[in-house]
Structure 1
Amino acid sequence: MSLLYKFWSAAAIALSVAVPFLPSSVSAQSDRKVQVENVVLVHGAWVDGSSWSRVIPLLESKGIRVTAVQLPLTSLADDVAATQRALALIDGPVILVGHSYGGVVITQAGVDPKVKGLVYISALAPDSGESALSLLKSSTVEPPAASQIVPDSVGFTKISRKGIDEDFAEELPSLERDILFATQGPTSAPNALAVPVTGAAWKNKPSWTLITTKDRVIPLELQKTMAQKIGSQVTTLPASHLALLAHPQDVASVIEQAVRGVDQSK
């Protein structure tokens, strides 16, 4: 038998032994849980993307790539579209995070296939056909902030200085409350807050919720009811509505839980 024949025979045997193991090896790799590396942050009403300024560096220090959406707050459709544009520019799976009214936005925009999990930070989590206002009106408790929301002649709303100081950002220093009052983004009540979502991403995707027990914007019992309805993993924090500025480490920790806990292969 020639040396060439022996070589090819040995190669054929080796290949026949190795090939059956290839599919299972590939399958094992495809089933492996991989950490999501992208987070998109969606702010709430009356603020802008800078409300995440203390959370962003904490996430980025963990190697997480962060994008903060700037919502126009002119309508729910516009706000969802702004979030969708941010998602379109990201390569790879995403954890989508919403604060307050931003929870309404991520509930609708989160149907994007890139989104692998949702995080609600002191946020509203509507079902299909529900809006921010309908959820708040469903509560048996009227939050103190409700009386401090002031509309203009076309329905764009702001929070009064008293509302900022006592109900919205009461844990923050006076200078920071000054800035929030001066820079707050007018938010359309009829076109944003009163418009129902047409889809609810949490029905098909895992979610995490941070409940703020001293919240004077979204009643505690409503936060609990929503978290239970959507099947969230819940963290409770004795904090006010703007926990993302007053307690950034706690907020970042919940987002990190989602980043670590979601299965990217799904």
Structure 2
Amino acid sequence: MKTGLKQLIVILFTITGVFGNFMYGQKVPIKNIVLVHGAFVDGSGWEAIYKELVKKGYHVSVTQQTLLSYEEDVKQVNRIIDQQDGPCILVGHSYGGAIITTVGNNPKVAGLVYLAAHAPDEGESEADNGKKYPSEYQSLIKGNDGFDYINPSNFPTDFAGNVAKEKADFMAVSQTPTQDSVFHAIIHNPAWKSKPVWYMVAKADKIINPDLERFYAKRANSKKTIEIAGASHCVFMTHPKEAAELILEAAHESK
């Protein structure tokens, strides 16, 4: 059989298989995952989850938004989503949850995963929601220049509980100061009202009240909510396997 004819047959079988899946409603697992970090940190915290997902054959993108303004962070994350070659699962931690609540409206986003993250409703901000469910930590420092950061002396216990001490100490001194205004951004057209949601609650979170996390999950009709006992705000770093499993479930169940 000539090479050209062989190639044509392969193409026809491929097209037939894809068309068959479409016609009979079979779900093709989503292979693109976009990870969105929160305030005071950068994308490097996703390394363990990244490795878990790549090991399973997924294409993983890690955002590096600047934390200078909510609007710019939304644009930067949208830019990464637009680069995907198909549908994706969007994952947010902490303030990253507020970002994915808006960016999740991108047509390429098939599902949302919140890991100890904010999920405000129409007209809400994460700062106002935090007042309704006060958090435990008292180490936030607001600079005269409009940037916030966490007192490095308290960072390991307040933000990075259960992270190895050497790593937590480094995170404390290398944290990214975050423009205070991002926490007061008002959310419009929250994506969780139209996209499926999965949620992970960190039961020992000092940055976001675990009851607020539970409230977010319930209000968004989370398809699955898991609670991690003893987990700090850095649950995405301390429990990468559990987080990756939740993300994989979202990838398999989203359309």
Does structure 1 residue 166 correspond to structure 2 residue 160? no
Q: What is the SS of the residue equivalent to 2:52?
A: helix
CA contact (8 A) 2:236 2:243 kept: yes
User: In 1, Cα distance between the equivalents of 2:219 and 2:247?
Assistant: 20
What's the % identity of the aligned pairs? 35
User: In 2, Cα distance between the equivalents of 1:198 and 1:189?
Assistant: 19
Matches within 5 A, 1:227-266: 227-232=217-222, 233-238=224-229, 239-263=231-255
Aligned length: 236
Q: Aligned to 1:81, which of 71, 75, 80?
A: 75
Q: Aligned to 1:182, which of 170, 173, 191?
A: 173
Does structure 1 residue 225 correspond to structure 2 residue 219? no
Aligned-residue RMSD, C-alpha: 1.5
Q: Aligned to 1:118, which of 112, 115, 123?
A: 112
CA contact (8 A) 2:34 2:88 kept: yes
CA contact (8 A) 1:144 1:217 kept: yes
Shift of 1:199: 1.9
Give the number of the structure whose alpha-carbon radius of gyration is greater.
Answer: 1
Which segments of 5 or more consecutive residues in structure 1 lack a partner in the other structure?
Answer: 1-21
User: In 2, Cα distance between the equivalents of 1:225 and 1:28?
Assistant: 36
Does structure 1 residue 198 correspond to structure 2 residue 188? yes
Q: What is the SS of the residue equivalent to 1:137?
A: helix
Shift of 1:135: 1.3
User: In 2, Cα distance between the equivalents of 1:252 and 1:214?
Assistant: 20
1:131-186 CA-to-partner distances (Å, cap 9, x unmatched) read 110111121xx2222x2111111221111123312211121122101210121111
2:190 counterpart letter in structure 1:
A
Shift of 1:56: 0.2
Does structure 1 residue 210 correspond to structure 2 residue 200? yes
2:53 counterpart letter in structure 1:
L
Q: Using structure 1 for the length normalisation, give the TM-score.
A: 0.85
Q: What is the SS of the residue equivalent to 2:129?
A: helix
1:18-68 CA-to-partner distances (Å, cap 9, x unmatched) read xxxx9xx85863622110000000001000000101110100011110000
Matches within 5 A, 1:43-58: 43-58=37-52
2:61 counterpart letter in structure 1:
T
Q: What is the SS of the residue equivalent to 2:204?
A: coil
